[in-house]
Amino acid sequence: MNAKRKLFLVVVAAVEAATGLGLLLRPSVGFALLLGLEGAAVEAIFVGRVAGAALVAIGVASWMARKDELNPSLFGLLIGILIYNTAVSILLLYAVAALKIAGVMLWPTVVFHALLAVWGGLLLRDFPGETPLGSR
């Protein structure tokens, strides 16, 4: 197992699982820290918990794959993590620019997810002949 890939997957597992558990248990705290929102609607709380469950799943999948050698499933996981981190970075920038909402943790979260996207993208170079759409 590549040590850089293992470290990446452990970092993703720890951060996303912890964030997911936080959203499952107290989504309103996450909303306040990330977006500066207080008193979110019950529907938003529910969607926050759904997002929390998804983050726990990303964390568990990353943890389970941390010792994997190069294989198509690991490639797929890394592509999924790349898409997720890129999308989160863009969506949070949209929250600031268009929606004018931001909490104290928004900018650190944008930077963190952007760095994870770059790091994860660089790890994809380990897969010779693979593309997001399959083998070349």
Predicted local confidence at residue 53, as pLDDT: 99
- Asked whether residue 80 is domain-assigned, the answer is yes
- Asked whether residue 10 is domain-assigned, the answer is yes
Q: How many structural domains are present in the chain?
A: 1
Out of 1-5, 48-52, 77-81, 82-86, pick the least confident.
1-5
pLDDT tens-digit map of 56-106: 999 999 999 999 999 999 999 999 999 999 999 999 999 999 999 999 999
Share of the chain above pLDDT 70, in %: 94
- Asked whether residue 25 is domain-assigned, the answer is yes
Judge whether residue 134 has pLDDT over 80.
no
Q: Which two tokens stand for residue 36?
A: 């500066």
- Asked whether residue 132 is domain-assigned, the answer is no
- Asked whether residue 23 is domain-assigned, the answer is yes
Query: How many other CB atoms are there within 10 angstroms of residue 77's CB atom?
Result: 20
- Asked whether residue 33 is domain-assigned, the answer is yes
Q: Provide mean pLDDT across the span 7-16.
A: 99
Measured CA to CA, the distance from residue 114 to residue 136 in angstroms comes to 27
Judge whether residue 128 has pLDDT over 90.
no
Residues 44-58, buried b or exposed e (16+ Cβ, 10 A)?
eeeebbebbeebbeb
The sign of the dihedral angle between the CA atoms of 61, 2, 133, 110 is positive
Task: Report the predicted TM-score, pTM, of the whole model to 2 decimal places.
Answer: 0.91
- Asked whether residue 129 is domain-assigned, the answer is no
- Asked whether residue 136 is domain-assigned, the answer is no
Longest CA pairwise span in the chain (Å): 50
Residue 80 is part of which domain span? 3-124
